[in-house]
Amino acid sequence: MQFLADFLDQVKAGNLYRQPVVYQPIGPTHIRQEGRTYLLLASNNYLGLTHQPAVRQAAVEAIRLFGTGAGGARLTTGTHPLFKELELELAKFKETEAALVFNTGYMANVGVISALAGPDDVIFSDELNHASIIDGCRLARARVAVYRHADMNHLSELLTSTACSGKRLIITDGVFSMDGDIAPLDQIVTLAESYDAIVIVDDAHATGVIGAGGKGTADYFGLKNRVQVQIGTLSKALGAEGGFVAGSRQLIDYIINKARSFIFSTALSPATIAAALAALRELTARPELAGMLRENADYVRTMLRQAGLPVFDGITPIIPVMAGEAKRAVRLTAELKEQGIIITAIKPPTVPPGTSRLRLTVTAAHDRSELADAVTKIATAAKRLTLV
């Protein structure tokens, strides 16, 4: 088993070693560790709903009514009544006929892609798509044509030049998780319609973030009924856990009977589904939450630019602060932690070598004065490490 030690020595030498760090969440924007409280700028809890009173109470009540576990897979004993409510409301929110909940967003992507595509098919995939999309493509055993990130000319060339005896599928993240940019879904749909291709969009970082009231990428571009498959998560803006797929009733019935990650997994607990349902209802009742998130994200971007830091254009709450080498990103996060701020260093293999960064994420629940103070500390630390 020497290969285990060899691998760990290698990642440690390259400043790429990872390990879980135990924090105690004390709210949507703060955590505590060893008696000290930190400002959290690393969470995907975009709307701050994990600690919303109605969401927490819904989880408690679900445990009282239904117990702590599902007791089985969805197709055996695991579909308690809350699943039906959540799936109906997800479909309404996404403006589709039906929806289906998976245990995680990762399992949704792996299950849906491998169910829809096979060896005779071609999948056209953005080069910066999430690992779960990449793994879903591999499991499908389809031919995969990777197009340069958001490059519609390259996608068009591949659609024209790639022979296909089966189905064509175009897959993209809606909001890309490392850079925070938005896929040109309107152009993708136009190309797909020209080549009779199925469009799959993963709205993990778009649901609750962009579109009217946070409805996602298809809504953001006004593409109602033109995107066949919308995948999302319950674990980010909706403050719970799980993933989902939304589309036609026929699509959902097909996925129920075909997706292995759905068929063979014990269902999520009632408390988790109840929390997601309450969070979705909170967002539906308060669509301005997505606007509050946008305002905080715009504020931080503007402040970072004024401080002299190079920041990508965008409107989403994912704001990368580029560091280059992994060692520099690690040093910067360590220094900021000393100053009471938690921001994650993103390193290879998550991003290519030389593009390590601090992945700063903003929520609708963040206080402006704390954000301003954090930007000042980030800019000061970055200048000390010659990032600017």
Q: CA 269 to CA 309: how far, in whole Å? A: 43
Burial 80-118 (b: 16+ CB within 10 A, else e): bebbeebbebbbebbebebbbbbbbbbbbbbbbbbbbbe
d(CA 202, CA 216): 9
Contact 255, 100 (CB under 8 A): yes
**What amino acid occupies position 116?**
L
Could you list the active site residues?
Answer: 177, 205, 236
Strand pairing of 143-147 and 122-126? Answer: parallel
Question: Strand pairing partners for 76?
Answer: none
Cis peptide leading into residue 349 (ω within 30°): yes
Give the 3-state DSSP-derived string for 99-139, with helices as H, strands as E and coil as C: EEEECCHHHHHHHHHHHHCCCCCEEEEECCCCHHHHHHHHH
Residues 6+ apart with CB under 8 A from 248: 96, 97, 98, 228
Determine contact, residues 21/212, Cβ cutoff 8 Å: no
Question: Scanning the structure block, which residue is given the tokens 């340069």?
Answer: 148
Residue 190's alpha-carbon distances to 9, 56, 223, 226, 341, in angstroms, are: 48, 42, 10, 9, 43
Q: What span, in angstroms and rounded, lies between the C-alpha atoms of 387 and 384?
A: 8
Nearest-angstrom CA–CA distance, 318 and 175:
9
> CB within 8 A of 52, min separation 6: which ones?
239, 278, 279, 282
